[in-house]
Amino acid sequence: MTSNSLQAIAVFDIDGVIRDVGQSYRRALADTVEAFTDGQFRPTMADIDAIKAEGSWNNDWLASQEFVYRFWENQGRSRGELALNYDELVLFFQKRYRGPNPEDPRSWTGYICDEPLLVDRAYFEQLTASQIGWGFFSGATPASASFVLTQRVGLSDPLLVAMNDAPEKPDPTGLQRVVDRLEPAGLQLPVIYAGDTAADMQTVLNARKIAPDRRWIAVGILPPHALVDAATRDRYTATLKANGADFVLSSVTELTGDRIRAWH
């Protein structure tokens, strides 16, 4: 397939879309909050969903910090008097998520090693066969994102914009960078962005403001923990739609090449 034969571009978030982070990132987040509140508060899945729904806490380190601040504020202490060390918080989180040597992927033994995959390499092969260009825009660190895409899913040199490569979501700069690298000159293809959070959907809304002549499609993906019962599923679906989702799917594997071409 040549680049000029592309029919559309699909860009994917990673956490909750490509991998299940319910017992990895979210577990590390809960561990961190519990540690920095002296064991007095451990956020539940519902608590984490709620803060993510605010749209400002896509970064799990910042979300952890915000949980800690809010807990101590409820105890009558101000943020200024806490002297919370953000670097120490991040290091604690990373040691839970990656393991004792967080900077060396070869020695990772943390929660990241046990993340269930939600997709396989064959999924992306069928997108290519359907003339769909694809890449990734994620708030995960480059090392973590590359680890799951290459060592777990088995992709070869995937196009990835990750943490610190672009401003955080819902800023659409990273999404646009992926599109710019995939799209042949002179074309303006439809773009699908698939994610599982309010910030992901808001990213598409913001992209439309910057490039209103392009067709942008926001696809909400329900992460595994949102599928545990009908009430949770409905609540999570409503949050995604309220933040701009055009469609909500139960799994990224439902976002097939044929479905994308039908939208095109």
> Per-residue pLDDT for 4 more than 80?
no
Note the pLDDT tens digit of each residue in 60-114: 999 999 999 999 999 999 999 998 999 999 999 999 999 999 988 889 999 998 8
**49 CB neighbour count, 10 Å cutoff:** 20
Segments making up each domain of the chain, as ranges: 3-20+116-263, 25-113
Phi-psi region of 244 (alpha: psi -120 to 50; beta: other; left: phi over 0): left
Q: Scan for tokens 């989180």, then name that residue.
A: 93
Note the pLDDT tens digit of each residue in 108-131: 999 998 899 999 999 999 999 999
Query: Strands 191-195, 216-221: parallel, antiparallel or unpaired by DSSP?
Result: parallel
Domain 3-20+116-263 -> CATH class: alpha beta
pTM to 2 decimal places = 0.86
State residue 3's pLDDT score. 55
Note the pLDDT tens digit of each residue in 223-261: 999 999 999 999 999 999 999 999 999 999 999 999 999
Provide the pLDDT confidence category of residue 1 given band limits of 50, 70 and 90.
Answer: very low
